[in-house]
Amino acid sequence: MAKAAKSKSSRSKSSQPKSGSSGAKRKSPRSASHLSTYREHETDDEPIKYYYKSEHPPMFGGVFQGRSNEFAGLGLIAFGILLVLSVYLESAGPVGKAFNDSLLFLIGGGRYFLPALSFGLGLGLAIQRDWQLRSRSAIGWALFSGVLLGLGHIYSSDSAKNPGGWIGWIFSEPITSSFSDTGATALLAILLVGSAMLITGKSVIELCILTWRFVAGANSYVAQKSKIQKDSLGANGSEIGFDDAEDFDGEAAQLFDFALDPELENLDDEEVIESELFDEQPKPKRGRKRREKAKAELALVKGESQEIPLGPSGQPSAWTLPEMEFLSLTTNKKANEQTIRDRGDQLVAALASHGVETVLVGYTRGPTVTRYELSLGDGVKVAKVTSLSRDIAYTMAATDVRILAPIPGRSAIGIEVPNELRELVSIGDLLVSQEARTANHPLDVAVGKDISGRSVFLNISTTPHLLIAGATGAGKSSAINCIITSVLMRATPDQVKMILIDPKQVEMGQYARLPHLLTAPVTNPKKAANALGWAVKEMERRYDVLVEAGFRDIAGYNAAYDRGEMTVEAGQPADKKFERIPYVLIVVDELNDLMMVAARDVEDC
């Protein structure tokens, strides 16, 4: 062992160069053909050091020449422009769409802040060439952004819009599932403070002091502005220069509501303007008279029985129609005309920002949609307006808009925008309307209101086979109930008979005691097929009666019967006589369920 140690020591000593001959005996570890050698002086404690440098510099070594930050800033600015085209304008082509979809998946609504961040970093790098982002600040900003996305994911009212994206889900979902929303908010708030410490390099106390100073400065600024505003008011509290309000009202009165009642056409222009246009301060006495008159008319309509002229096919009946007081009426508040006009001005401004000059000439407000009527400027193509539907919807904060370009019969375009507050339309409002009094057919049923606010009725005798389709919760059952209620309130059992088929047994049980029913509501699918089979035979029998009587439809036959023209001719059997034919309305709820159980029997009918 001692011999081995000595041998190693001797080799170690022999491997060290001697003073004065180290340069001659030491060789360069690399070939000197393409490398030049630089030598430092040898000291007693350290050996000689060699450095190697290429004789030929790299091809792109001097391209940036200390301006790498500026080029990086230009790249970030270009990236910000791409973000604006992809996220806001959606006009960057398929690549931009794919990029926008990727950002939506990753950060959700946070992608709307990326253009500003990219522009800010780009300008910072371009202006300050020696600016550097420290790793601690970078980690702080990343943590700060992730926490904000997580908070957005927790408190978003619409999870379908993916507010925080995948990153927000990562920051929020594990904590939320473990500590609930309140606990997750507390933990994320702590992480937010920690990220602020990393970004600023300040302690918690210093951050509290900075926050307090910021809040105090904001309060001082607001107080100063409030004082200036108070000083600018007159002695009576009105703002200086507001004496021109009369001129403003005169300009506002030029907009006309095309949904006005036709009866107002005979009124004077002054009365029309005071009652229906944008005057938000009507005379108190006149306003009270109009409201009292409207209440009196409503009370009369609500308490009287419905009397409907049924035309030549009607006749006196022992049945009495129900009174309208059994149906409730809605109490919707009158729409704020100023709000509607402001949204119209917003629409005009949105079109102007895209180079489309328009003038608002009127509007038509319905229960759920308002149609703004615009006149195009000279040289503006209609096709340019139709291509901006998505941009208009984004500006108006609407799910979708409908463009009528042009409005039929008018030199104007219409843009239908959903109302911020939808009005409730009840069946009672429809059945007491003026349109209900002019609908004289027993099968005229209320279906809703159009965009002008007028009640719409449908004669279902013109649609012998009517299919109501839609997704779950779309209102199919409500539509069926409206049809049945309309018939019950407007037609007697002598005029309309019904067959109700309800395979689910839960939708039509409330109609079991109606005098209009030919049979109790059918809930058995096999019996439903029998009922439909009876209806087919009854239809064929009625065809034979109409052919024999020489009429094409039931309305003409009943009208002749009411006039006494349907008599038995001589030579005919004594027991044969003509009878009045009522309409038969068959309502089937969930036809799909019926077809699944008794498809063959139903198809044969």
Note the pLDDT of residue 496. 93
User: In the predicted model, is pLDDT for residue 584 greater than 90?
Assistant: yes
Q: Which two tokens stand for residue 261?
A: 């009642």
Q: Which is more confidently placed, 48 or 126?
A: 126
Which CATH class, in words, describes the domain spanning 246-282+333-423? alpha beta
CA 3 from chain centre, in angstroms, equals: 92
User: In the predicted model, is pLDDT for residue 313 greater than 90?
Assistant: no
Give the fold, CATH level 3, of 493-605. Answer: Rossmann fold (3.40.50)
Q: What is the mean pLDDT of residues 80-97?
A: 82
pLDDT band at 280 (very low <50, low <70, confident <90, very high): very low
Report pLDDT digits (tens) over 366-398: 888 999 999 888 888 888 888 888 888 888 888
Most confident of 67-76, 190-199, 331-340, 513-522: 513-522
Burial 283-303 (b: 16+ CB within 10 A, else e): eeeeeeeeeeeeeeeeeebbe
Note the pLDDT of residue 197. 84
* Residue keyed to tokens 């035979």: 537
Q: Which is more confidently placed, 550 or 39?
A: 550
Q: What is the mean pLDDT of residues 179-189?
A: 81
The DSSP secondary structure of 267-336, one letter per residue, reads S-HHHHHHHHSS-SS--HHHHHHHHHHHHHHHHHHHHSBP----GGG----S--PPBGGGS----PPPP-
Q: Is 440 exposed, middle or buried (0-12, 13-18, 19+ CB in 10 A)?
A: middle
Note the pLDDT of residue 100. 81
Q: Which residues pair with 257 in a beta bridge?
A: 363
User: In the predicted model, is pLDDT for residue 568 greater than 90?
Assistant: no
Report pLDDT digits (tens) over 325-334: 888 888 777 7
State the Cα–Cα distance between residues 52 and 34, nearest whole angstrom: 10
Question: What's the one-letter identity of residue 371?
Answer: R
Q: Is 598 exposed, middle or buried (0-12, 13-18, 19+ CB in 10 A)?
A: buried
User: In the predicted model, is pLDDT for residue 498 greater than 90?
Assistant: yes
Whole-model pTM: value is 0.46
Q: What is the mean pLDDT of residues 169-188?
A: 80
Q: Is 390 exposed, middle or buried (0-12, 13-18, 19+ CB in 10 A)?
A: exposed
